[in-house]
Homo-oligomer: A and B are copies of this chain.
Amino acid sequence: MAEKVKKPNIYDVATLAGVSHQTVSRVINNAGYIKDETRTKVQSAMDSLGYVPNAAARALVTSKTKIVGILVSDIVYNGPAGMMHAMEKEARRGGFFAISASVDPLDNDSISQGIEHLRRLGIEGLVVITPQSDSVQAVERLVTDIPVVFIDSPNNSKELSAELDNFSGAQRATEHLISLGHKQIVHVAGPTGWFDSAPRVAGYEAAMESAQLQPKVIPGDWTVPTGYEIGRNLDIEADKVTAIFAANDHLALGLMRALRQRGYSIPERVSIIGFDDVPEAAYYEPPLTTMRPDFAELGRVAMEMMLGHINREATLRADTLVPELIIRESTASPANL
């Protein structure tokens, strides 16, 4: 930690290269006309001094900070880790910095504090990752002067958004079960108030109805224990249930565990399909058939959209990613058709 050594500025570089500071600036931003020879001189002066442009000074004069904020729900769930990486990388690719603030999506104070914090840095745009409804309005109310991209929120708003096509995903999952010959298919849903829940229910119902089957939805949340609990109590026999579409893999895991304990073999007696394809899903007991969303791509697309809007070159206002069906061993045709 060598202290005191003052960092070189643009004038130091200029002096060493024997040009004006403005020429150095031109080289940095490669703007205007510069002789190759001059460019080389400047470049090597920068190298030898270890010059790094001062972002603050630049931001001050251009009033562009090249920073986008990411407001992310601190509720830990599967997607965000890879999604954050992807967003950061995409931002960097576009010469931007990504800075995140974790907030409790259920607490409006927490949300506004997070936004306030990001705003202080002078973010040029905000990406919001919140799987929960109320927070969207809070954000929309608080942020009106910069573009906002919502990830995984309902696209009925006028805002920019990138989201999972939960409807199609759920439809596809259900159709998979139907195509195997199942008639009594139950959907264990996610919690109300979360964006991903409702369209998964709707997709399920749509698929059931177009196959002229009777839908049955059991409200749940996203957790293994809830899946387990529901698995303990689900009336398999009376309703002749042969398949379950769980709103996510964790529910599916809990369900499988409970059902197996009750003596129902999977997939022989009951087929189960999940949603998310968590990394462990392939090693559940049995390996779980599930829908795989490309979270990283979702993050990348959202950031791409963000930068496009900041740079005023965007056409895309919403994008939707359809999850992929991953067939493993937790689904099969029902035994006694």
Contacts and interface: CB of A to CB of B under 8 A. Distances in A.
Contacts of A54: 60, 122
Contacts of A279: 76, 224, 250
Contact of A224 (B53, B100, B228, B280): B280
Interface stretch (A17-25, A81-89, A195-203): A81-89
A49 interface: no
A229 to B, nearest CB: 12
Interface stretch (A91-99, A131-139, A174-182): A91-99
B280 A5 contact: no
Contacts of A283: 224-225, 228, 250, 253-254, 257
A56 B67 CA distance: 12
Copies of this chain present: 2
A102 interface: yes
B82 A101 contact: no
Nearest to A58: B56
Contact of A2 (B82, B121, B144): B144
A113 to B, nearest CB: 8
B101 A53 contact: no
Contacts of A31: none
Contacts of A238: none
A89 B102 contact: yes
Which one of A76, A120, A278 has the highest number of Cβ atoms from chain B below 10 Å of its Cβ? A120
